[in-house]
Structure 1
Amino acid sequence: MFTNQIKIMLYVDNVEESAAFWQSVGFHEFERQEMDGTLIVEIGLSATAESRLVLYDRTFIEKHSPEVALNSPSIMFSSDDIVSLYKKMQELGVTLGDLVKLGEEMVFNFADNDGNYFAVSGK
């Protein structure tokens, strides 16, 4: 049977730099381990998050699992204070799209250090 925990594999150019990026915008690091000479880092939105990102080295995956699609997943995060989050990411120098009102909510997108884009919605 499935559990409530979801892990999304994100393939990045530099696991250490990506882990630092995600932690700078407020993510929690759960685990880091080495496997066959490569670093793997598991992060989540908080210390109790059941949905997590697992950062894998793109070159390692290309070599060991060439059949795996390496494109980034399309992920939308949510925020209960989207304006403050947007301002924090601006201060950190994160590449951001415009903060726009969409119906009852606001939305923006941002790029991680590898140029992968993600969206955030909230109030």
Structure 2
Amino acid sequence: MKNTINIGLYVENVEENASFWKQYLKAKEIERIELGNFVAITLEVSPYCHFQLLDIDFIREQSPEVADNKPSILIHTPIFAEIHDQLEKDHYYTGEYVYQGDFRTFNFKDNAGDYYAVREMN
């Protein structure tokens, strides 16, 4: 049995945000749920971590007390430089490489303007 972590991300445009993660993190869509006028898309970021993209207007209707919560996410990946270079090439904000111990990290803004961090995995 394996445990997985499912992180809910509240976004303005679920489809566009899903496309972003599919392109840059090679995430795979594993579930799509119709929620009335809204859709939720779950992406497998790794075998143990999923992002569930939920429309922020749906969250504001269902659970307004959590609608403004934003997680702090650090992505460990073996395709560190590839992600950085592709984001930079496509004109997304990418921070400079910074060392944390023996590993490089950088931060970036996604298509919705939210910040994330990436750490190289050896």
Same fold, judged at TM 0.5 (above): yes
Q: Give the structure 2 partner of residue 93 of structure 1.
A: 91
- Amino acid paired to 1:35: L
RMSD of aligned alpha carbons: 1.8
* Correspondence 1:45 to 2:48: no
Query: CA–CA distance in 2 between the matches of 1:50 and 1:36?
Result: 29
- Which structure 2 segments of 5+ residues have no match? none
Alignment partner of 1:115 is 2:113: yes
Q: Which residue does the alignment assign to 2:62?
A: 64
Paired residue for 1:17?
Answer: 16
Task: Give the number of equivalent residue pairs.
Answer: 120
What does the per-residue CA deviation read over 1:34-73, in whole Å, with 9 as the maximum and x for residues that have no partner? 1122010001224xx2210000000111112112242210
Q: Distance in 2 between matches of 1:91 and 1:30?
A: 28
Q: Secondary structure of the equivalent of 1:95?
A: coil
Contact 2:10 2:67 in 1 (8 A): no
Q: Runs in 1 of length 4+ with deviation above 3 angstroms? A: none
2:70 counterpart SS class: coil
Higher helix share: 2
Deviations 1:75-98 (A, max 9, x none): 100122422221122223322111
CA distance in 2, matches of 1:23, 1:7: 16
In structure 1, the gaps of 5 or more residues are none
1:29 lines up with 2:29 in the alignment? yes
Identity %: 36
Residue 14 of structure 1, CA deviation:
0.6
Q: Which residue of 1 aligns with 2:103?
A: 105
* AA in 2 matched with 1:40: A
Under a length normalisation based on structure 2, what TM-score does the superposition of the two structures give? 0.87
TM-score (norm 1): 0.87
